[in-house]
Amino acid sequence: MSSIAVKTEQIHKTYTSGPQQVDVLKGVDMEVLSGEVAVIMGPSGVGKSTLLHIIGMLDRSDSGQLWITGRDVSGLDETAMARMRNATIGFVFQFHHLLPEFTALENVLIPAMLRDMHDADEHYARELLGRVGLSHRMTHKPSELSGGERQRVAVARALINKPQIVLADEPTGNLDKHSGEELYRLLLELNRALGQTLLIVTHNEHMADNAHRLITMDDGRIAGQKVINRVG
């Protein structure tokens, strides 16, 4: 039996902008098992990013419950939530968010520095950069890397603290088709090698075909959820 990495129950979120209220999430129920690659698909504006931010504890729902690695995190205060987030979650965004004045290796190490650096971290950062195919680019700065390479550094950075869960929101949105396909192959390879749970918002069919779980969203709700491949 696999354990449940992420579970939501009746997550609601409303944004207020001026006099307008927008109900973005209208009762989201979903779950992802440990080790799974789950692909979240759906048209623009249905709440995919909002849901990912709530799961990643970057934002809070207005109501409903969220379990991360079996723990109910809905009631945690800011400090406890930040600690849980840093220990459990890695993020890959559409834009790489690398710091321009630092090398690839230093950028990968930033989340480790925010935690508290161990001697092992630099060794692991080098190993991760090797895994994403950038052994020869460790001392390059972001401006000296291609778009695909930058995003691979961002993937290594997401993994440095050994998160159990990696969240990726359209991580190839700024890449050309070839670099995008390469990044998807890499994410699948890393999931197989390291076993972290991966939730990814994408329109990519290769990723969807090779995922374990397909979740579709429509208008603030889960429209469909099915297991298409078993882990392992």
CB of 94 to Mg ion, least distance (A): 8
CB of 202 to ligand ADP, least distance (A): 11
According to the binding rule CB under 6 A, does residue 95 interact with ligand ADP?
no
- Out of ligand ADP, Mg ion, none, which partner does residue 22 contact, by CB within 5 to 8 A per kind? ligand ADP
- Out of ligand ADP, Mg ion, none, which partner does residue 61 contact, by CB within 5 to 8 A per kind? none
Rounded Cα gap, residues 77 and 88, in angstroms: 16
Please identify which residue in 3, 10, 21, 45 interacts with ligand ADP, judged by CB under 6 A. 45
Q: Which is nearer to ligand ADP, 30 or 105 (CB)?
A: 30
- Out of Mg ion, ligand ADP, none, which partner does residue 107 contact, by CB within 5 to 8 A per kind? none
Rounded Cα gap, residues 66 and 50, in angstroms: 14
The binding site for Mg ion (CB under 5 A) comprises: 48-49
Rounded Cα gap, residues 211 and 224, in angstroms: 15
Binding track, positions 1-40, relative to ligand ADP; x by CB under 6 A = --------------x-x----x-x----------------
Please identify which residue in 7, 33, 36, 48 interacts with ligand ADP, judged by CB under 6 A. 48
Residue 60 half-sphere exposure, CB side, CA atoms within 13 Å? 10
Q: Which is nearer to ligand ADP, 49 or 61 (CB)?
A: 49
Rounded Cα gap, residues 210 and 206, in angstroms: 6
Choose the binding region for ligand ADP from 31-39, 47-55, 62-70, 87-95 (rule: CB under 6 A): 47-55
CA distances from 20 to 16, 17, 45, 127, 181 (A): 6, 5, 16, 49, 39
Tokens of 185: 């192959």
Q: Nearest CA to 190 among 209, 168, 221, 218?
A: 168
Tokens of 4: 């449940």
- Out of ligand ADP, Mg ion, none, which partner does residue 46 contact, by CB within 5 to 8 A per kind? ligand ADP
Choose the binding region for ligand ADP from 44-52, 105-113, 122-130, 154-162 (rule: CB under 6 A): 44-52
CB of 171 to ligand ADP, least distance (A): 13
* Amino acid symbol at 29: D
Please identify which residue in 18, 19, 44, 116 interacts with ligand ADP, judged by CB under 6 A. 44
Rounded Cα gap, residues 92 and 196, in angstroms: 14
Helix (H) or strand (E) holding 30, with range, is strand 20-33
* Residue 2 per-residue DSSP state: P
